Structure 1
């Protein structure tokens, strides 16, 4: 069993899991064009998706590492630049009229003028014109077209990140200096669905628990992030999957929160985060939290401590103040305003305001998996790409790594590949290191090794 401290160790024996180059922090002037010969993802600052060669068309696709012709090597050609596809030497990102396409690198249509657009963004312009590589505007109520365009004008649709395939990272700061957004935590998906603490689903569904150890054991094993589904019943906010109907011995939210608060009281150097898939009225949730003894003593309020303006605090600051429990809800602020009571008024933060999160599923519990890493919250009125940042503030990154159905053998295999997916797919997709690695059956496949590996360096 790993101790809680082992997950935050500054050195591990699994350094082979970390393929990032550790180097000093980049110098000032980071908006200068990267050096020739470096390989990048050409990533939309609006959608977070990558430019990919699709049979000669250049389209925006979900980030897939090196599996989808999405990597481009920067070359110099006179006063211009070329972006050569790594899968097809001699073929460059270029233009076919008003659309983007791959063309021979020797073609005049392959040349780009690359200029800074601020905030580590770039514009890729046609030399001598005002035309730029751009994401086409979305249709009413729809998505942006996949095919990239070349058009006049500027704005976010024409802003791009040149995200390095092999990033320059830096050593993790000392234990007392590292900030919350520099640390990675092991997180249990559907932590309540364990069969050890009580019932969690109707018959048959409860044959597929996401975890097999209770909350207290999860805490002892080093789990520090907990994903919980809450539903409203006459008894309050209850932990159930999809519905509490026909569930035998379900657990109330306050009971599991009390276990976490008691753990934090006994371990003053530890930090815990709770993510609520939230189907209850705000008044019901407030009453449920009021049942937890000692909760106000440990509840951390980023909305009251200047995080939005100055960034996340140091871990040492949180432990010094004793405020070491964060609670997030996936509920919408607008719905709560309509109800007359917002969750953040009693300390539950709206997750979309403070984090980014990739799509929740890699596919069914058997068969092929989808390792692409893209935002759970882009589209349907919530345009939050994984790459979202703000001046002075970087959202925490929740990386989901599980299937539709938790099957033990599949979870074991998936968890053993967690570090590789985090490094090759999700870290460049979000342009930040995952802060929460959420898995099914955390006891299989050693996902704690991936957490430990990520905690050896800071990105960027």
Structure 2
């Protein structure tokens, strides 16, 4: 009898064989397991035959009741052999009363009952939630097995270097990998091997900013072999690499991980990382931790140093977050009469910021290092008597006043020979014997608001290089670096700043076909603004917001006319008028066009480029030139260019001046272009064109010695008024006092 009550199971099928039913009217099977439940079958013989299916009573069935979809089959061995099949049933089964199948006839012979479970779900206690199957989709199961097998194969390929075809050089070791796998996960790696670049030719990638251990973690992630502790140890390095090589999966994973363990000792570092790599979820998490949960008090000692170097826009977001956090707390306090910590929090933050602002020098103040100057300022060697002074390094972002104007209604700070950095050495290994024009990297320039870059491109060493010409050619001692390096910096910036537009002006000495290869390899083509959309007869350009929304955020102009038709690179002077560069373009009261450019007042070109730099660059002379003479030339070129303000203002050593410098000149041009004011700082938000808010004048600066000598000082104009002009934009200290007063007003309500 025990054997007759046993139910055989395989997969999702259960079978109960009853050899003889006997005189009894009721039989129940032994329990059998399908899924996570123990089940029973029973047969009751009366006028009809009733077959029941139910789970074993107990905790599992009560807490996790099964929702079953099944069919039953009853067979009699005969003779003759007969069978009945039930419809497909779907029932929530808790007890033997929840389901029965009625058979009208009971035949003689061996009796077999089959139950085929088509699906089993754990019924949800919440009616709004759907129940989920305990069995995975078969295709998913196959995929899981296949994925596991593939990961095993990839692991062997990596660890045993099976058919490895690329070498990766790190700072302290070498790794072997496979081009196809690297290229499949990163568009940057793909470009390296797709085009005729040195990585393709040598089958070598130099990753000079990662150690062997960190790079092993990166490759391990790509191959699927990374361990959790390895990931956690190197996640900041992995994040930087993911940003550099455009590997979004790693970037997303790092962001989620960094969100998991925010604490008082790392929250400011995480906030900086979030700002640097545009990680919105991480940034929001850090701000919530600091202000919603009130952990700002735990970092009082570190916050002062943080604000010395934090970006101004980030600080404004922090103020907004603390005010947002205070409002609901304030409302609850009013309704419950309970004291709130939010006013104290705001006041503490204001005092901290005032302290940090008070310790930071403003425009025109003396300094000894970058840390002495406020946000957006640079400690330059432009002070009198050999002193250093704080000068502006960053213009006001015109996007803060909207993006609804045509692109030719904005002005952009532009760096002449952006790649020619003072103190750098040639990537060939040779010493540089040539002129330099800037002081910081392309990435730093872009972070400081530079949006126009001037690059000289040459065919050199079987690649495209950024170089100065010597007798019309590029040599080791005039070659700075391969162009691909700078183009990748630009791509990384555009990747991380989806609202920014960059213009590249190429002084082009390359042969046909060279530039498309390097631009494709850099990954910049996805941002390319097509020549077909550029206005041909001096009309307005597309709206800036449309260029941003369509992700056409890179304008490239070449000095070679033939390349517009052959390579799709716009010939500059079909769209831009440009004044003479060098000393001839710095004569007071004059703004002649360069030889290749149409006349400055030509209306067939809708963009205006104003050069203002000496023939022989001078880091000392530029201090005076980038001040009052620059602002004076701005007005001169406006008058001689058909009353058009320049869209690009190109200078050497853009961070050097007697005060406001090139950033101030850009603000002046944008003020006239964007809102009809003398400075974009005067534009009134959400107002008609020409509505300006002019602040009261600042006290005159204390007298300082004019900078000594320098080739640029004779290029036009006095610098006596530049200090006052520099103070048109409020210094950092005044900004923080204003914000603090705003907070105190809020607290008084």
| Contact 2:538/2:603 (8 A) holds in 1 | no
Give the alignment partner of residue 455 of structure 2, picking from 218, 223, 228.
228
Distance 1:4 1:284 in 2: 40
Determine the structure 1 residue equivalent to 2:480.
250
Determine the structure 2 residue equivalent to 1:58.
none
Q: How does 1:266-345 map to 2 (within 5 A)?
A: 266-293=496-523, 295-304=524-533, 308=537, 310-331=539-560, 333=561, 336=562, 342-345=563-566
Computed over aligned residues only, the root mean square deviation of the Cα atoms, in angstroms, reads 3.4
Could you say which structure has the larger radius of gyration?
A: 2
Give the alignment partner of residue 351 of structure 1, picking from 572, 578, 588.
572
1:397 aligns with 2:626: no
| Contact 1:4/1:221 (8 A) holds in 2 | no
| Contact 1:172/1:458 (8 A) holds in 2 | no
Determine the structure 2 residue equivalent to 1:112.
none
C-alpha spacing 1:198/1:456, structure 2 compared with 1 (3 Å):
same
Determine the structure 1 residue equivalent to 2:663.
448
Q: How many residues align?
A: 278
SS of match in other structure, 1:455: helix
C-alpha spacing 1:401/1:305, structure 2 compared with 1 (3 Å):
closer
**Structure 2 alignment gaps of length 5 or more:** 1-308, 315-362, 364-397, 677-749
C-alpha spacing 1:343/1:197, structure 2 compared with 1 (3 Å):
farther
| Contact 1:362/1:370 (8 A) holds in 2 | no
- The one-character-per-residue Cα deviations of 1:242-283 (angstroms, maximum 9, x if unpaired) are 143132773111221111111011001111000011101121
Determine the structure 1 residue equivalent to 2:444.
217
| Contact 1:275/1:328 (8 A) holds in 2 | yes
- The one-character-per-residue Cα deviations of 1:130-180 (angstroms, maximum 9, x if unpaired) are xxxxxxxxxxxxxxxxxxxxxxxxxxxxxxxxxxxxxxxxx9995132221
Distance 1:2 1:271 in 2: 23
| Contact 2:415/2:450 (8 A) holds in 1 | yes
TM-superposed deviation, 1:346: 3.5
Determine the structure 2 residue equivalent to 1:372.
590
**Runs of 4 or more above 6 Å deviation:** 1-6
Give the alignment partner of residue 238 of structure 1, picking from 440, 461, 465.
465
| Contact 1:402/1:440 (8 A) holds in 2 | yes
- The one-character-per-residue Cα deviations of 1:377-419 (angstroms, maximum 9, x if unpaired) are 3xxxx571111113xxx42111000001111121111111255
Determine the structure 1 residue equivalent to 2:647.
435
| Contact 2:581/2:612 (8 A) holds in 1 | yes
Distance 1:397 1:2 in 2: 34
Distance 1:249 1:240 in 2: 4
C-alpha spacing 1:265/1:227, structure 2 compared with 1 (3 Å):
same
Give the alignment partner of residue 386 of structure 1, picking from 600, 619, 642.
600
- The one-character-per-residue Cα deviations of 1:353-391 (angstroms, maximum 9, x if unpaired) are 110100011259xxx9556211103xxxx571111113x
| Contact 2:468/2:478 (8 A) holds in 1 | no
1:175 aligns with 2:402: yes
- The one-character-per-residue Cα deviations of 1:53-97 (angstroms, maximum 9, x if unpaired) are xxxxxxxxxxxxxxxxxxxxxxxxxxxxxxxxxxxxxxxxxxxxx
SS of match in other structure, 2:557: strand
Distance 1:422 1:191 in 2: 21
TM-score (norm 2): 0.34
- Name the stretch that deviates more: 432-441 or 252-261: 252-261
SS of match in other structure, 1:408: coil
Distance 2:503 2:311 in 1: 18
Determine the structure 1 residue equivalent to 2:417.
190
SS of match in other structure, 1:291: helix
Determine the structure 2 residue equivalent to 1:362.
583
SS of match in other structure, 1:300: coil
SS of match in other structure, 2:499: coil
C-alpha spacing 1:252/1:371, structure 2 compared with 1 (3 Å):
farther
| Contact 1:358/1:399 (8 A) holds in 2 | yes
Distance 2:506 2:487 in 1: 11
Determine the structure 1 residue equivalent to 2:108.
none
**Structure 1 alignment gaps of length 5 or more:** 7-13, 15-170, 337-341
Distance 2:593 2:427 in 1: 28
TM-superposed deviation, 1:234: 3.4
Q: Higher relative CO (CA 8 A, sep ≥ 6), structure 1 or 2?
A: 1
| Contact 1:275/1:327 (8 A) holds in 2 | yes
